[in-house]
Amino acid sequence: MNVSQRRGPLILLISSILLGLFIAIYPLPAVVAMFRPELICMLVLYWVMNSPEHLGLSFAWCVGLLQDMVEFGVWGAHALALTLLAYICLASYQRIRSYSVWHQSIWVFVLVGMHQVIVSWVHNIAGYQHEAQELIFPTIISALCWPLLIYLLHRVRLRYRIS
């Protein structure tokens, strides 16, 4: 019982990140792909805000590098963006956690927007150019999906009694 209590969150954490990576690379037609939510970024925000005592900057950095490797991007782009986001989350999680879900969505909009700008800045160094709508649409969709993500993760945690 004790072991499963400690393992539960870890399994949920790893499987959520794997699912996030899978959704990040799932082949979609270009028109639809523009609306793909930045699930990895949202998951990092969620986990850092939910267990700031265990997960922090190094966690965000590693997940970011993993995403860069899997997406064939420039290594370090997502690592940089997610580290800075995790820093903001660690500094303000007490405040953000007390907000209502839709209020949190506005925060997510700002944070994911920052993430997009940092990633596109690093990609620009490598010569890749992004259109403005490629940055803004995923940000809007991510903010709109935030309540859904919170709800689903909450349900999974209740169902499998993961505190």
Partner 1 sequence: MTTRVALLSIAALVTVYAYLNTNWFDFLKNASTDLSAPLYWVSDLPARAGEWADNRTLPRSKLLQENEALRTELLVHKRKVQQMASLAAENIRLRQLLNSAELLEDRVIIAELIGIAPDPSIHKVIVNKGSSDGVYVGQAMVDASGLMGQVVQVGHGTSQVLLITDTSHALPVQINRNGVRLIAEGIGDLYQLAIRHVSNTADIKEGDLLVSSGLGQRFPVGYPVAEVVEVHFDPGRAFASVIAQPMADMNKSRHVLLVFDQPPSEISE
Residues 17, 40, 49, 80: which binds partner 1 (CB under 8 A)? 80
Helix ranges (DSSP H) in the chain: 2-25, 30-33, 39-50, 57-70, 77-97, 101-125, 132-159
Nearest partner of 82 among 70, 65, 64, judged by Cα: 64
Radius of gyration, CA atoms only, the chain: 16
- The one segment of 77-85, 92-100, 103-111, 155-163 that binds partner 1 by CB under 8 A: 77-85
Chosen residue from 49, 112, 122, 145 binding partner 1 by CB under 8 A: 122
Q: Which of 10, 69, 148, 156 binds partner 1 (CB under 8 A)?
A: 69
> Which two tokens mark 48?
């850092």
What residues numbered 134-163 form the site for partner 1, per CB under 8 A? 134
Instruction: Tell me the closest approach of the beta carbon of residue 48 to partner 1, in angstroms.
Output: 12
The C-alpha torsion from 104 through 105 and 107 to 110, rounded to 10°, is 180
Structure-token pair, residue 130: 């992004």
Q: Which residues bind partner 1 (CB under 8 A)?
A: 18, 21-22, 24-28, 30, 33-34, 36, 56-58, 61, 64-65, 69-77, 79-80, 83-84, 87, 90-91, 122-123, 125-130, 134
